[in-house]
Amino acid sequence: MESENMRRKIEDEIEHTIASPVIKNKRFLEDEQLIKSEQLAVLEEIFNTNVRDMEITKLSKHFTPIFRNDHPYHIAVWGKTGTGKTLTLTYFLNLLLRLGAERNIQIRYKHLDLSTPVPCFRALNDLACLLNAMKRYQRGISLDEMMLAIEAKLADYPGYLILFIDEVDNIRRDKDTFMAFLIRRLPQKIPAKLILVFASNHLDWPDHLDPRVKSFLKMNEIIFKPYDAVDLQHILRIRVEKALCQEAIEPGVIEKIAALASYDHGDARKAVALLAKSAYLAEQRRIKVKLSLVDEAAKELDMDRYSAMLKSAPKQLQAAMASVIEAAKLQNNKRIGTADAYDAYRKFCKKARVSQLSGRAFGDLIGELDLYSFIRSRMISRGRYGRAREIILELPEELLKKIYGMILLKFQLR
């Protein structure tokens, strides 16, 4: 009886999915799921619509001296996230490789992706791995050893070597050691003609560099502007064509997504994510992708961002967030001091059987939550009653509930 019922439901669902699908090929909505050749195919199409034409022209101008046997400068690529720095460079450098092969010029390029913050050690080790110079280490090996291994590996390669260092500013402390190695030491130790390509979000990035290294660094710059609505429309159309059923998209949807995205960030990845979310919602509700759905999707995406960030955060930070929420609930008003939060935190730690940090460390956690704008905090002075940091919870109730539930689940308190 029960199973009969269940069976009907599933069959119904299958029928629906086959009969009026919104999504044709889900994989093209999520970049991580594409295999390399598919990615390149998508890129090819994007660049065929003249998006990022300017930038590619500039890149060509910079690199073509290679074919006269010249040695171009290093190059810095600036642009916000999602403006296609990585994609454009990948596409361009692959092209360059092919052209080089046709003309019998030895070119190699390596892409060092520092999308998450790493210390100098990690960065060097990653680079060494990329060059197959050594295996991956957690720690316990000196920086010098890694440098030597890299140099040894490259000792008999005379051609061009292009190192594409993505998101350079992600190197935490000791940045100078890493940069000094790349800019000053490496070129002198190996026969290859080294061309460094730096990608970064911050224009002022080289300013924090050790002056001795900086003066050594000769480079050109290219700036990637955020995509405008027209570019985004091109990009979205390609995705729609590959991933969705044209009939299921109501007119104006693409334009709206492009407009929204270009208005507040110009980030292509986010635009595609918005498209994907809209499509998922449409499929769930068995309706077409219509304009109002886009707004809903945008809102959900926003909420997802917060809970996803917290989900992957360290345990202590999650505990701190939960404590703040509990403390706020206890006080009923939304303003609490660090002391209240710390009390709640102590209780929470006991409850969840998590090791409890000192007040000092807890203060840092609060600072971190503030940084990611889960909370807002500011110093207030109550005169002779001392100074305190006031914590204000400003996220929508709905989202707080979601986050709180998620954390409790994580600590198995449900």
Partner DNA sequence: TGTCCACAGGAAATACGGGGGT
Partner DNA sequence: ACCCCCGTATTTCCTGTGGACA
User: Which positions lie near DNA, rule CB under 7 A?
Assistant: 119-122, 137-143, 172-174, 314, 316, 337-339, 356-361, 363, 366-367, 379, 381-389
Name the strand (E) or helix (H) holding 74: strand 74-78
Q: How far is the CB of 412 from DNA (least distance, A)?
A: 19
Q: Which spans in 190-267 are helix H?
A: 211-214, 229-243, 253-264
Cβ proximity to DNA: between 87 and 319 the closer is: 319
Least CB distance from residue 213 to DNA, whole Å? Answer: 18
CA distances from 92 to 72, 198, 218 (A): 16, 14, 22
* Comparison of 203 and 361: residue with beta carbon closer to DNA: 361
Instruction: Read off the tokens for 308.
Output: 């996803």
Decide: 84 and 52 in contact? Cβ < 8 Å.
Answer: yes
Any idea which residue has 């660090």 for tokens?
A: 338
Whole-Å CA distances, 344 to 70, 301, 359: 65, 30, 12
Q: Which residue from 347, 344, 349, 334 is spatially nearest to 391, judged by alpha carbons?
A: 334
Cβ 370 to DNA, closest distance in Å?
9
Beta carbon of residue 124, minimum distance to DNA (angstroms, whole number):
9
Q: Least separation, in Å, of the C-beta of 85 and DNA? A: 25
Cβ proximity to DNA: between 101 and 380 the closer is 380
Q: How far is the CB of 137 from DNA (least distance, A)?
A: 5
Cβ proximity to DNA: between 21 and 119 the closer is: 119
Q: Which is nearer to DNA, 138 or 215 (CB)?
A: 138
Measured CA to CA, the distance from residue 330 to residue 116 in angstroms comes to 37
Q: Which of 99, 106, 90, 101 is nearest to 41 (CA)?
A: 90
Residue 154 CB, nearest distance to DNA (Å)? Answer: 21
The residue (of 215 and 358) whose beta carbon lies closer to DNA is: 358
DSSP string, 33-52: GS-HHHHHHHHHHHHHTTTT
Residue 91 vs 362, nearer CB to DNA = 362
